Structure 1
Amino acid sequence: MMFSVLLAFSAPALAQESDDALPPLEEKVLPGNNNLRALGQIQDYMKAVTSLKAKFRQQSPNGLVAEGTLYLERPGYIRFDYSDDTPFLVVADGKTLNFVDYEIGQVTKWPVKDTPLRALLGNSVDLAALGAHIELDPAGATGVIALSAQDNDRPELGVITLYFRQKDETKGGLVLNSWAVVDAEDRITYVELSDQQVNLALNDKLWEFDDPRGLSKRRRPR
């Protein structure tokens, strides 16, 4: 299963397609000074925002939409709580990303470092290590910085593009607006964020899940 398919989850057809998702990043690198400044802004964001709670809206490659609440804590922790009784859960415990399907009683696991989400869950951005590059105002979206990352040695893992918007142009602050994952077959999954709260004290139990296979709960490493 490709990672972008993991993020799509064959979500139930409970909502209409999204018309306002940002487009995927095209291959383009702007002059060095602009890129360096944008990279510095993203690195400042990564250092300043250590945890995040937000509403998310996810559009899968087939156009189906699912919504819920996202929890994130760096380094390595994330949880997608789906609404509307969607029988899936995605949770990373710092090392392992778990896709839990309660409908069929199955858990699929990936090392976080082997998924595109590693670009989002680290404490900093290393362009060389992530095989990444930056684009300003992608597809004419003014005030947006796009960071695209992939593992050039393992292209089958897909490409993730993080989209940051200028929160306050006078201060240079950023907010994470959305991201797109493109798998090896060019299928695209979008995740858009809203109602964000940052640097909250998140409960450790968020990184646990009830194992549908009847085993004990998977707990966050101490």
Structure 2
Amino acid sequence: MRSLPLFGVYLALLAPAAVAQDTALPPLEEQTVIEDQSLKALRQVQDYMDGVETLEAEFRQHAPNGNIATGRLYLERPGYVRFDYTDETPFLIVADGKTLNFVDYEIGQVTKWPLKKTPLRALLGGSVDLASLQAHIEMGRPGFEDLILLSARDPENPEQGEITLNFMPDDSMPTGLRLLGWQVLDAKGEITQLTLTDQKVNTALDDALWTFEDPRGLTKRRRTRR
């Protein structure tokens, strides 16, 4: 795991000609039920975005090359996040409200992206951002019928990739939903997956979490991450 995976794009094209003439369309009632379920799920996700102001959790990250990293996630909406790696990974990822910083303490390098041009915008914004990111809902997977998947990408920056947030109903959470994690699909068609456990929501977080020790120019590299 040498650098932050590049964010890419996934374009799904659907043309009317792709439906054969002899293919029967689902009954109108069935289509309506599916649409109603999707709208309800979208409202639930919007409630989550509006109701969860902070989130703290353990994370497990699976990179496309098979590498696994672990750490602790701190999130404050809108615009703040910290991926604090707790294993031997010498990286730190911090968003300070405007900029996403990827800090490599091993080689003394900091790479920056405008936060609004990364897929994490869908996670760190509010419900109002979902429409601008062309968010769409999928319902369920075999064995996980209650799963809600929200996919989003920035139409103005499609090369930055697509993020899919995974939610499950959970009455123990303030908004009735639990964020299980997400996947990011990059321009190469490779997926980086992250899962969350041990979550705490709407607790006070220290403002120092959104800062970092800049390793550039240091004669001795250190792994201090705050």
Task: Normalising by structure 2, report the TM-score.
Answer: 0.79
| Counterpart contact for 1:4–1:181, Cα < 8 Å | no
Q: Distance in 2 between matches of 1:105 and 1:142?
A: 46
Determine the structure 2 residue equivalent to 1:19.
none
50, 62, 65: which one aligns with 2:53 = 50
Structure 2 runs not aligned, ≥5 long: 15-30, 219-226
- The aligned length equals 195
- The offset of 1:83, in angstroms, is 1.3
Determine the structure 1 residue equivalent to 2:167.
164
- The offset of 1:117, in angstroms, is 0.2
Larger radius of gyration: 2
SS in 1 for 2:214: coil
Determine the structure 2 residue equivalent to 1:71.
74
| Counterpart contact for 1:50–1:73, Cα < 8 Å | yes
Q: Distance in 1 between matches of 2:84 and 2:139?
A: 31
Determine the structure 2 residue equivalent to 1:104.
107
Q: Distance in 2 between matches of 1:86 and 1:128?
A: 36
Q: Distance in 1 between matches of 2:96 and 2:212?
A: 10
Q: Distance in 2 between matches of 1:126 and 1:68?
A: 27
- Asked if 1:136 is matched to 2:139, the reply is yes
Cα distance change of structure 1 residues 172 and 50 upon mapping to structure 2, 3 Å threshold? closer
2:201 counterpart letter in structure 1: V
The within-5 A match list for 1:53-202 is 53-138=56-141, 141-168=144-171, 173-202=176-205
Q: Distance in 1 between matches of 2:105 and 2:6?
A: 14
| Counterpart contact for 2:60–2:194, Cα < 8 Å | yes
Cα distance change of structure 1 residues 173 and 208 upon mapping to structure 2, 3 Å threshold? same
Q: Distance in 2 between matches of 1:138 and 1:148?
A: 15
- The offset of 1:126, in angstroms, is 4.0
Cα distance change of structure 1 residues 159 and 131 upon mapping to structure 2, 3 Å threshold? same
Deviation string for 1:86-114 (max 9, x for gaps)? 11000000000000001111000001100
Q: Distance in 1 between matches of 2:102 and 2:5?
A: 11
33, 40, 43: which one aligns with 1:40 = 43
| Counterpart contact for 1:166–1:172, Cα < 8 Å | no
Cα distance change of structure 1 residues 80 and 172 upon mapping to structure 2, 3 Å threshold? closer
* Residue range with higher mean Cα deviation, 50-59 or 154-163: 154-163
- The offset of 1:127, in angstroms, is 3.9
- The offset of 1:155, in angstroms, is 2.0
Q: Distance in 2 between matches of 1:132 and 1:5?
A: 22
Cα distance change of structure 1 residues 87 and 100 upon mapping to structure 2, 3 Å threshold? same
| Counterpart contact for 2:54–2:201, Cα < 8 Å | yes
Q: Distance in 2 between matches of 1:140 and 1:125?
A: 31
* Cα RMSD for the two superposed structures: 2.7
| Counterpart contact for 1:4–1:187, Cα < 8 Å | no
- The offset of 1:125, in angstroms, is 4.5
Task: Normalising by structure 1, report the TM-score.
Answer: 0.80
| Percent of aligned positions that are identical | 59
- The offset of 1:34, in angstroms, is 1.3
